[in-house]
Every structure is written in C-alpha cells, then in structure tokens.
C-alpha cells in the first residue's frame, strides 16, 4: 500500500530546508503549489541528498538532467509535465541556497544510544 503525504506535511518538510531568514518567502512559494508539485520537489531534494552521499561536488542544476530524464523513469514521459516540473524545481532552487545538502550518516554509537 502506497503512502500519500499531505500537502501540509510536504510543506513542513520542505520548509526545514532553507535558511530561516528566507522562510516566509519559501512558505509563500510552497503554498501556491499542488501536492504533485510538492512531491516532485521533495523527491528532487531527496535525490540531491543521496547524490551528495557519493560525490562532494553535486550541482543541483546538473542533477536535474538525470532526474527528469524520460528514459530513466516512466513518470516523465509526458513532455508538458516534465517541462512544468522542471520549471517548478528551477524556481525552488532560486528560493533556497544552492549548497550541497548536509546529510548525517548514522554511526554504531548512534544506534546503541537510540536502543538504550
């Protein structure tokens, strides 16, 4: 069974990404998006974080080509949807600082402390 995130939970998660001084502008931007557009942003940011795990020089603009490649996913077969989502992601990148997302790898001590 697939889990569908609500608009408010997607907005809340995406609001945790930008710097606090920009939060109101980002909130206004996110509130104007559909749930599908918010899901696309969340998936793109997740892909960016995963790429950052394996490379120290991850440029989100370069990643867009791979992310929206219609040969890698059935979801981007419609060129109108693909171009619209690309535009939404470009706008998103315009609202957040373009820096490599910080991920936190779990260590064995973290797991031991969580179990205690």
Whether 100 and 58 have beta carbons less than 8 Å apart is answered as: yes
Residue labelled with tokens 């402390």: 113
List, for residues 18-36, the tens digit of each pLDDT value: 677 788 888 999 999 999 9
What's the token pair of residue 101?
Answer: 């997302």
What's the token pair of residue 52?
Answer: 């950052």
Total residue count of the chain as it appears in this document: 116
List, for residues 83-93, the tens digit of each pLDDT value: 999 999 999 98
CA angle 8–60–2, rounded 5-degree value: 40
What's the token pair of residue 76?
Answer: 């981007």
């Amino acid at each position: 069974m697939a889990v569908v995130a609500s608009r408010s939970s997607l907005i809340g998660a995406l609001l945790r990404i930008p710097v606090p001084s920009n939060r109101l502008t980002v909130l206004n931007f996110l509130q104007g998006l559909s749930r599908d557009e918010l899901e696309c942003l969340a998936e793109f940011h997740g892909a960016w974080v995963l790429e950052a795990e394996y490379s120290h020089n991850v440029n989100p603009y370069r990643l867009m080509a791979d992310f929206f490649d219609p040969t890698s996913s059935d979801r981007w077969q419609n060129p109108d949807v693909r171009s619209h989502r690309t535009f939404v992601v470009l706008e998103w990148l315009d609202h957040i600082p373009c820096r490599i997302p910080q991920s936190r790898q779990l260590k064995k001590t973290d797991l031991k402390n969580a179990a205690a």
